[in-house]
Amino acid sequence: MIMEIEEIKAKVASSEYDFLRTNEHLGNRVILLGLGGSHAYGTSNAKSDLDVRGCVLNTKAEILTNTNFEQFVNEETDTVIYSFNKLISLLLNVNPNTVEMLGLKPEHYLYISPIGQELLDNKKLFLSKKAVHSFGGYANQQLYRLQQKSASHMKQAELEKHILKTLEHMRTDFSSRYSSVPGDSLKLYIDKAVQEGYDTEIFMDVKLSHYPLRDYCSMWNELQNTVKAYAKIGVRNEKALTHNKIGKHSMHLIRLYMMCLDILEREEIVTYREKEHDLLMDIRDGKYLGEDGKPNAEFFEMVNEYEKRLDYARANTSLPDEPDYERINEFVMSVNERVVKEMV
């Protein structure tokens, strides 16, 4: 039986979640608390776990000394609570796992403080074309996992295309975190392989002068870790197939497209997928899986249609390239100043 919202609220108020009230990082510092996962998306079933997500203010000491508290995690209850400053940094890049916290159904918020309400009131400041790359990066990796399972072996050349697409999404994010890299200074592309056993592979052309070494090393490490991660995805896919989770993964891929399209086309964050509920549940329940438990051709046709819509939305959205940094910084300074002055 699916948990009703009143049951969820009673559960969160129980001793099982006492850490929300007693942990030194949480308690009266919590400004936002809401549902996450399938309950937030409207795709839960009787077996769905309860996920709780939230945000807490950084303390006066953390703000003034730059102490690095980023998030609190309780694995037993699938609870993740981000610090205010960490959440802002993720929202600036339209991170799918956190931006969804700003688009819940009103009744799915378990607690909202006055500052939490200010955050919700300012949610549109964080929307930008970066959504294409943040949601697109997540979706591309999810799509790779599913395509890998739709055939006994994915061709190496197809794998390279997936990796390149993910790396390109990452490069866009680099611009907000590292020193500027002109468009022609770091080029990634696919060509005939020189590696033994490869048909094609990813190459890079690098033309950088007077560039900070630490920024370059950090970018290089991120790119390298992503390439390595693809080798591990296959193992996770085998576990997913064993535990009958391919339908769930397929559903989340389509949900990512839906959320991204809302952001690009309507400039709205819509976490609860009421209009698409039946389609998403059909996908989750295996309607688009073959007898072998793998995504069928009809599902991938659906994916192609969503990718076409996303390409069109990317080219025609009225969203800015970057979020409104000036107004976001003013908001962050206002909140942290109130903390330092002990006004909250």
pLDDT at 47 over 80: yes
The string over 261-272, giving b where at least 16 C-beta atoms fall within 10 Å of a residue's C-beta and e elsewhere, is bbbbbeeebbbb
CATH number of the CATH domain containing 95: 3.30.460
Assess whether 198 and 58 both reside in one domain: no
Assess whether 304 and 335 both reside in one domain: no
Assess whether 104 and 45 both reside in one domain: yes
Q: What average pLDDT does the segment 281-300 reach?
A: 90
Work out the pLDDT band at 310, boundaries 50, 70, 90. very high
Q: Which long-range contacts (CB under 8 A, 24 or more apart) does 319-323 make?
A: 319/127, 319/128, 319/129, 319/131, 319/263, 319/264, 319/267, 320/128, 320/129, 321/128, 321/129, 321/130, 322/128, 322/129, 322/130, 322/176, 323/91, 323/92, 323/94, 323/125, 323/126, 323/127, 323/128, 323/130
Assess whether 263 and 178 both reside in one domain: yes
Assess whether 146 and 295 both reside in one domain: yes
| pLDDT: which is higher, 153 or 324 | 324
Say what the pLDDT of residue 180 is.
82
| pLDDT: which is higher, 99 or 291 | 99
Q: What average pLDDT does the segment 263-270 reach?
A: 97
User: Which two structure tokens, joined as six digits, stand for 318?
Assistant: 């009225």
pLDDT in tens, 3-46: 889 999 999 999 999 999 999 999 999 999 999 999 999 999 88
Assess whether 117 and 162 both reside in one domain: no
Work out the pLDDT band at 176, boundaries 50, 70, 90. low
Assess whether 267 and 209 both reside in one domain: yes
Assess whether 159 and 252 both reside in one domain: yes
Q: Give the percent of the chain with pLDDT over 70.
A: 92
pLDDT in tens, 189-238: 999 988 888 889 999 999 989 999 999 998 888 888 878 877 665 555 55
Say what the pLDDT of residue 152 is.
46
- The greatest distance separating any two alpha carbons of the chain, rounded to the nearest whole angstrom, comes to 64
Domain membership of residue 288 as a residue range:
130-316
pLDDT in tens, 330-344: 999 999 999 999 998
Assess whether 240 and 192 both reside in one domain: yes
Say what the pLDDT of residue 179 is.
86
Cα separation, 305 vs 302, whole angstroms = 5
Assess whether 303 and 332 both reside in one domain: no
Q: Residue 58: what are its φ and ψ, rounded to 5°?
A: -70, 150
Say what the pLDDT of residue 40 is.
97
Say what the pLDDT of residue 243 is.
45
pLDDT in tens, 120-156: 999 999 999 999 989 988 887 788 778 766 654 557 8
Answer yes or no: are the C-beta atoms of 136 and 326 closer than 8 Å. no
Mean pLDDT of the chain: 89
pLDDT in tens, 83-108: 999 999 999 999 999 999 999 999 99
Assess whether 235 and 136 both reside in one domain: yes
User: Residue 127: how many CA atoms within 13 Å on its side-chain side?
Assistant: 23
Domain count, the chain: 2
Assess whether 219 and 276 both reside in one domain: yes
